[in-house]
């Protein structure tokens, strides 16, 4: 079984609220359709979830009543993005079904306290691909919090012992320095026990904020690698890469694993 | 806390696939908005869920692979109806959030085996109105089954000890005979321990098929009454009736309760 995360920046235009990259998603769905094994898909919030979550300070947890508007609006926006993703998958012949993260996952202080795996496993059992997504979820310490698609993907990979995890993003993978601000950066084909600490340091030293996203992702994926589950980050904007990753073929990207 | 069921025939046109009664739903949302207490809303599938469920024989459970298409299409259709309901509620100022029945409920042989109440209760706790709906759900004996909105409403009323349950439908309530085929039928203002058996008999004796829906509803609501939870069936097509029912005012309809 493969756990596939579709990044929010890949399937939406990050800086344009509620903008869905339909063409990109349709092509990704076609590539996914060529893989015939068991699959769980998780997608990010992109410009459907982030602007609202930010505007209402949802990740701070319950501070005042006004945020409740933010919770219900974020929930609705995420349902709508999810509808678009699931529809594109169905159109490509993938028997996909939405599974609402906020009905399954409960956090405490922003960390997953419990995620009900039963419907995920049982939909898989009858040949259906569950589609989850980053969302606002209930939090027993803070009232609510944002649970990212990355977190869900790593959690499901670990608890369901996925064969592999694939993170499709809008970049080629992890670079030795932040490619947005440093010229001559080099894509890392692999992060393993020999270079992990060094990579972390170099990412962190360049620009804490900008690389926060990728550094966080790397940390999580490294913990997953230590648990024996290999992952690969590929650029979903380049046609064919996701397909190759799914089929286990050689592909440009960054592999995160404990090297033999 | 009130449990409110909005009938599928009330919010959709029964015989026209995927037809949403937007105007009706907007008015109902406005009436619901006048009630300021805690509320759980459940809606039926109407012309979004029933035709697909029927076409693919979903209530028979898993018989062949082709039905999986029916499961995923029904799921998507119900999400879309639910989006319309939740949107109308939000537009009326009700802080509503969708809760996916198929992520919460598990059946065995068509009966609810388990329904995870935690997100329902916790959304209520932070002032949010959960909105569930009849849907195709996983079934440990049959693979999957149809769980009706009525069943969910009765189950939630009982397990969460609702103060009252309100069933808004497209008829005035329960009649002493089937109003579709018998003239001079009389609306029953109340079903209680004195007339329950007689009402059941007269409904059943007139026309088994057509009254199946209302007979089933009455049986469930009577069991609820015996558990001490009163319910009322009102006509949601008549402006003001749902509002009166929510506010606990005198209203035309059929009350189901154990009379003092």
DSSP chain B: -EEEEE-HHHHB-TTSTT-B-HHHHHHHHHHHHT--S-EEEEE--HHHHHHHHHHTTGGG---STTHHHHHHHHHHHHHHHHHHHHHHHHHTT--EEE--HHHHEEEETTEEEEE--HHHHHHHHTT-EEEEE-EEEEETTTEEEEE-HHHHHHHHHHHTT-SEEEEEESSSS-BSS-TTT-TT--B-SEE-TTTHHHHHHHHHHH-HHHHHHHHHHHHHHHHHHHTT-EEEEEETTSTTHHHHHHHT---SSEEE----
Does B195 have pLDDT greater than 50?
yes
Q: Which chain B residue shows the shortest CA-CA distance from A83? A: B76
Taking only the tens place, the pLDDT of each residue in A247-260 is 999 999 999 999 99
User: Which residue would you say has higher pLDDT here, A66 or A208?
Assistant: A66
Residues on chain B bordering chain A, Cβ-to-Cβ distance under 8 angstroms: 62, 65, 68-69, 71-73, 75-76, 79-80, 83, 86-87, 90, 95-100, 102-104, 106, 116, 118-119, 122-123, 126-128, 138, 143-144
Contacts of B38 in chain A (CB under 8 A): none
Record: contact A127-B102, CB cut-off 8 A: no
Alpha-carbon span A168 to A206, nearest angstrom: 23
Q: With CB atoms and an 8 Å threshold, state whether A126 touches B62.
A: yes
- Beta-sheet strand order (sheet of B105-108): B111-115, B105-108, B135-139, B143-147
- Nearest residue of A to residue B143 by CA position? A126
**Residue-level pLDDT at A211:** 37
What's the ipTM? 0.91
| pLDDT higher than threshold 70 for residue A3 | yes
pLDDT band per the 50, 70, 90 thresholds, residue A184: confident
Number of A to B CB contacts under 8 A, please give it. Answer: 102
Q: Do A83 and B87 touch (CB under 8 A)?
A: no
Give the C-alpha separation, A229 to A218, whole Å.
Answer: 13
Kindly list the structural domains of chain A, giving each domain's residue range(s) and its CATH number in brackets, ordered by start.
2-256 (3.40.1160.10)
**Residue scoring higher pLDDT (A200 or A97):** A97
Residue B156, token pair as written in the block? 């939630």
The angle at the Cα of B41, spanning B196 to A112, to the nearest 5 degrees, equals 130
- Please tell me the predicted confidence (pLDDT) of residue A205: 52
CB–CB of B187/B255 below 8 Å? no
> pTM for the whole thing?
0.93
Question: Which tops the pLDDT comparison, B44 or A176?
Answer: B44
**Subunit contact B79:A73, Cβ cutoff 8 A:** no
Tell me the chain A residues in contact with residue B102 when contact means C-beta distances shorter than 8 Å: 97, 99, 119
Q: What is the DSSP letter of A163?
A: S
Residue B183, pLDDT score: 75
Structure confidence at residue B177 (pLDDT): 75
> A49 CB contacts (<8 Å, ≥6 apart)?
A8, A74, A77, A78, A81, A134, A135, A136, A146
Mean pLDDT, residues B107-135: 96
According to the model, what pLDDT value does residue B164 have?
97
CB-count exposure of residue A208 (10 Å: 0-12, 13-18, 19+): exposed
Q: Look at residue A210 and tell me whether its pLDDT is greater than 60.
A: no
How far apart CA A205 and CA A249 sit, in angstroms, is 33
DSSP symbols for A91-104? HTT--EEE--HHHH
**What average pLDDT does the structure give for chain B?**
93
Mean pLDDT, to the nearest integer, of A14-21? 92
Taking 70 as the threshold, does the pLDDT of residue A157 lie above it?
Answer: yes
Q: For residue A232, give every residue at least 6 positions away whose Cβ sits within 8 Å of its Cβ, in sequence order, or none.
A: A164, A165, A166, A167, A245, A251, A253, A254, A255, A256
Name the percent of chain A lying above pLDDT 70: 95
Least confident of A73-77, A206-210, B63-67, B215-219: A206-210
Query: Does residue A137 register a pLDDT over 60?
Result: yes
> Cβ of A36: how many Cβ atoms within 10 Å?
8
Query: Are B90 and A102 an interchain contact pair (Cβ–Cβ within 8 Å)?
Result: no
Structure confidence at residue A112 (pLDDT): 96
Flag whether pLDDT at A152 surpasses 50: yes
- The pLDDT of residue B208 is above 50: no
**Rounded to whole angstroms, how far apart are CA atoms B173 and B59?**
27
Q: What integer pLDDT is reported at residue A179 of this predicted model?
A: 66
Structure tokens at B125: 């706790």
Q: pLDDT value at position B201?
A: 86
- A1 with A39: CB under 8 angstroms? yes
């Amino acid at each position: 079984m493969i756990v596939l995360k579709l990044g929010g920046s890949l399937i939406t235009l990050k800086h344009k609220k509620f903008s869905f990259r339909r063409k990109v998603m349709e092509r990704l769905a076609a590539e996914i359709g060529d893989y015939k094994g068991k699959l769980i898909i998780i997608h990010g919030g992109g410009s459907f979830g982030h602007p609202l979550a930010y505007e209402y300070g949802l990740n701070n947890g319950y501070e005042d009543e006004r945020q409740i508007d933010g919770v219900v609006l974020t929930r609705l926006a995420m349902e709508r993005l999810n509808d678009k993703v699931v529809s594109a998958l169905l159109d490509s012949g993938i028997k996909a079904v939405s599974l609402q993260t906020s009905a399954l996952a409960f956090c405490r202080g922003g960390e997953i306290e419990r995620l009900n795996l039963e419907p995920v496993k049982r939909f898989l059992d009858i040949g259906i691909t569950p589609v989850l997504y980053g969302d606002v979820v209930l939090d027993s310490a803070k009232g609510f919090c944002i649970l990212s698609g990355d977190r869900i993907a790593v959690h499901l990979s670990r608890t369901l012992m996925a064969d592999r995890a694939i993170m499709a993003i809008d970049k080629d993978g992890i670079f030795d320095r932040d490619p947005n601000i440093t010229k001559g950066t080099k894509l890392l084909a692999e992060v393993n026990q020999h270079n992990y600490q060094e990579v972390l340091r170099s990412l962190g030293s360049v620009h804490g904020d900008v690389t926060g996203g990728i550094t966080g992702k790397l940390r999580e994926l490294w913990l997953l690698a230590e648990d024996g589950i290999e992952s690969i980050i590929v650029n979903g904007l380049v046609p064919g890469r996701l397909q190759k990753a799914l089929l286990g073929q050689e592909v440009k990207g960054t592999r995160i694993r404990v090297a033999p």
